Chain A
Amino acid sequence: MTTHLDEELLAQWALDRDTPDDAAADHLRLCARCRDSLRELRSIAGQVEDMPRMESAPEDVWDRISTELGFETGSLQPAPDLSTAGSTSRDRFELRRVGRPTRRMAAVAASVAAVVGIGLGVIGTLLATSNDSGPPTAEAVVRLEPLAGKSGDGNADLLQGTSGSQLKVTATGLVQTSGFYEVWLINEDGKRMVALGVLNPGTGGTFQIPADAAGQGYRIVDVSLEPNDGNPEHSHNSIIRGTLPS
């Protein structure tokens, strides 16, 4: 047979532990390629149920490597692997998806930085210091204000727990349209930004962030409306925004 089974269909059977219909079953009996493919997908569907959370090595591991190899320290600091920092929360901090910063994106971030420069958006207050045990403690509560011409607002609570820092984002008055809302942390340097994940405007969400993200300049909390266009970069359509205290 030359017409093979649709791969998405194979994936569906693997994920749902479904059995193929009669016609497909006939094909599978005859076609080793589709049979192998289904077997492989079933195996992976089983493995993804038991994946570890990604974790990052502590920062001093690089220092140890650098020292052991006699590198000039200081000139070669890889930024801590924030992409895998904190890995216990549902929405892990993730930065790898952000593409090469475009000139446009740099402009977005630069304009953000300028706005922040005049002090808009920071209503954060230190509420408590971090605690080594118990539930996460709130370190700061930041109001998220609508950008010009946009409506909605919200809060970003910076929480400190045993597993690292978390950002709890809630929003009100965000219009549900097509596409999805996404939470970003933008660096004050006007050059860098990172996507934290998808935000349900109705229920909010909690995102794991590295303990030192704000210290590294990632202080601007931004909620954008992203079209379903498959482009991972910031849509340039920010709706609400606030700034974490340094």
Chain B
Amino acid sequence: MHGHHGSSFARLRVVTSNEAGLQSPADIAKGLAEGREQSLADAYRRWSGFVFTLALRALGDRADAEDVTQQVFVSAWRGRANFDPSNGQLGGWLTGIARHRIADRIAARNRDLRNAEAAGGLLQLQTSPDRLDQDTVDKVLLADELARIDDPRRTILRLAFYEDQTYPAIAEQLELPLGTVKSHVRRGLLQLRDRLKEVKGDDTSR
């Protein structure tokens, strides 16, 4: 992990500049273990986008995704004694909680559907697979990590992956040499691979 993300911009409003310094995941984990409310706020700032996007992708409903996001951070606070830093990082632990909360929500939906079917003889209601598949988690992790890569690589990867632009088109648009663009995309893929490995290694819930 490079040292530049999660840092200075979205800092808290009502803290001294010293306290508002960059919080590494390890700092946040330590504070959380010590029961510092501020650390939950820091964790929220760092991971809520990931949790919300994952829940939204899995559930397809914003209100449900908001509820799940709320539950994940409430669970993290109440279950902070269960977090063992020696067994992985906070991001992986939160991912595990998110998986469970999302699975709960899907199960509840399926139960409601089955009840409705039984009660009203409604036909053709489809229950969803009751587990969040790994592919979905991976894609959100990749998107989250991409957002943390430094420019110009980040912009290049976005144009390549989100906009499906060709390398020559990207080179022209950003006025960068073609070789530079190609190299950034290749290294970016390797960078994403490394980050995915690191984060997935910490998600012990699978």
Contacts and interface: CB of A to CB of B under 8 A. Distances in A.
Interface of B: 3-14, 17, 21-22, 37-38, 40-42, 44-45, 48-53, 56-57, 65-66, 69-70, 73-74, 77-78, 135, 138-140, 142-144, 146-152, 154-155, 157-159, 161-164, 173-176, 180, 182-183, 185-187, 189-190, 192-193, 196
A96 B173 contact: no
Interface stretch (A24-32, A39-47, A119-127, A141-149): A39-47
A194 to B, nearest CB: 5
**Leading 9 A-B pairs by shortest Cβ distance:** A84-B49, A95-B9, A78-B45, A57-B52, A232-B150, A79-B10, A11-B186, A51-B143, A96-B5
Given A65-B74, A69-B77, A192-B9, A84 B41 contact: no
A51 B42 contact: no
Chain B binding surface, main DSSP class: helix
Contact of A95 (B10, B37, B53): B10
Contact of B151 (A11, A79, A195): A195
Interface in A54-101: 54-58, 61-62, 64-65, 68-69, 71-72, 74-84, 90-92, 94-101
B193 A44 contact: yes
A87 to B, nearest CB: 8
B143 A52 contact: yes
Nearest to B66: A61
Nearest to A81: B49
Contact of A76 (B41, B78, B138, B163): B41
Give the most central of B9, B50, B152: most A CB within 10 Å: B9
Interface of A: 7-8, 11-12, 14-15, 40-41, 44-45, 47-58, 61-62, 64-65, 68-69, 71-72, 74-84, 90-92, 94-101, 176, 180, 182, 191-195, 197-198, 200-203, 226, 228, 230, 232
B148 A51 contact: no
Contacts of B44: 62, 65, 78
